[in-house]
Amino acid sequence: MKIKRNKLFYFSVSALSVAVVLFAWQIGTYKGWINTLFLPAPKTVWRTFLSLLRDGYKGKSLALHILLSMKRLFIALGAAAFAAIPLGLLAGRSRLARAIIDPFVEFYRPLPPLAYYTLIILWVGIRDGSKILLLFLGAFAPLLIGVIFSAEKIPEQRINGARSLGASRTQLFIHVIFPSCLPDIITSFRTAAGVSYATLVAAEMVAAVSGIGWMVLDASKYLRNDIVYAGIFVMGIIAILMDAGLRVLVKKISPWMGKI
């Protein structure tokens, strides 16, 4: 007999697993099993986090570092969505369009961001434009591929049915293809946001003096591992909140999809 468990049960299991890891971490550092130079105690990281909230880092508050990073990220994600969604819908329904786009996307998609970041700086300069462009490229490819795949799998009966009712090509894209792909578009956007967010440290490592990614990188140069871990936890919590928001959006748009 299968036992039914509600959301509270699974949330409790997740909370317990986190508590066990934190307890093991605390015990390991307290007993000296873990070198605190490489992994500070949880209470040390917590105190550092409170210090960052109170005093900031190198003349800027923690909130400002986060805000500047999020500004770069959201501009890049917005530009990626603006470019990748229509291109993906077009390429998903047109083999000719896909043949034109595919070589360029497949060429740069597997490249590490640092491999072409120097070129971006040469083209765009060292200001925020180069950082936004790097984050844009990180998000563009996975979003485009997800949209193409979604557009390709639309049942032809749905397309033909709309055509038989007199829908034009424009109406077909606006009222049939785009709504059919919307849940997959949001899901692909989650993936793209994760990839772009993971590139944040790389984007802020050159000629930057602000941002949560820069703060973590700068602190690591001085072996301030307490600040590094505090920054990593802040970045992780922001990522969880972003992903949770996109999950809610998918469920609002397409509740029939169930859990994702």
Domains of the chain (ranges, CATH numbers): 1-34 (no CATH), 38-257 (1.10.3720.10)
Encode pLDDT of 154-211 as tens digits: 887 888 787 787 777 788 888 888 888 888 888 889 889 988 988 888 888 777 788 8
Q: What is the mean pLDDT of residues 236-243?
A: 90
For residue 4, the model assigns a pLDDT of 62
For residue 260, the model assigns a pLDDT of 44
Question: Which tokens sit at 244?
Answer: 């949770």
In the chain, the percentage of residues whose pLDDT exceeds 70 is: 95
Encode pLDDT of 72-89 as tens digits: 999 999 999 999 999 998
**Arithmetic mean of pLDDT over the chain:** 85
Task: Tell me the pLDDT band of 2, cut-offs 50, 70 and 90.
Answer: low
Q: Which amino acid is at 155?
A: P
Q: Which helix (H) or strand (E) holds 183?
A: helix 178-198
Given CA atoms 247, 142, 126, 202 in this order, what sign does their dihedral have?
positive
pTM for the full model?
0.83
Encode pLDDT of 14-28 as tens digits: 889 989 988 898 898
Q: Are 142 and 195 in contact (CB under 8 A)?
A: yes
Q: What is the mean pLDDT of residues 218-232?
A: 89
